Amino acid sequence: MRVSADSPALPAPPSIVIDTNIALDLLVFEDPAWAPLAAVLAAGELRWVATEPMRGELARVLRYPLIARRMAQRALELPAVLADFDARARLVEGVPKRAPYVCSDPDDQMFVDLAVAHRARLLSKDKAVLSMRKRLGTLGVAVQAAFEPLP
């Protein structure tokens, strides 16, 4: 798409934060349930935002024996999976400030903080995150366990 240099900037697509388990479903397991999400990310209709610590957590989890075996079965190597992450996700600089609500699972707080900072949709299957739906909704964050287009 081309626009005039004098035209106002096009609005950025809405942001989405994806937790590590769903990132694994997308990048390693290629779970068909997440195909609609993969399609909207590829089309640029949503912008996956992440932080360096999120990328680090993914790299650590990819080394777990069960995940490593699954990757080997699919002929995937860690550098290739991380390169796929890098191609799909937009790393934001720094670490967002702590959200007003604290997740009972400290490992998931970074996802909550980023979603709040960007008023982004948050995809997670983690019960601790899902239990925060109403509270995070008051801050403009839609928490979903499955990808659903928003109205």
> Which pLDDT belongs to residue 147?
92
103-141 exposure pattern, b = at least 16 Cβ within 10 A, e = fewer: beeeebbbbbbbbbbbebbbbbebeebeebeeebeeeeb
Half-sphere exposure of 24 (CA within 13 A, CB side): 17
> Which pLDDT belongs to residue 151?
61
> Which pLDDT belongs to residue 94?
85
Cα R_g (the chain), whole angstroms: 16
Q: Which two tokens stand for residue 24?
A: 């694994």
**96 membership: H or E segment, kind and range:** none
Question: Which domains are assigned to the chain?
Answer: 15-142 (3.40.50.1010)
> Which pLDDT belongs to residue 86?
97
- Angle, CA of 122, 125 and 130, to the nearest 5°: 65
> Which pLDDT belongs to residue 73?
94
pLDDT along the chain (151 residues), means of 10: 51 92 95 93 95 97 96 95 96 91 94 96 96 96 88 61
SS3 41: helix
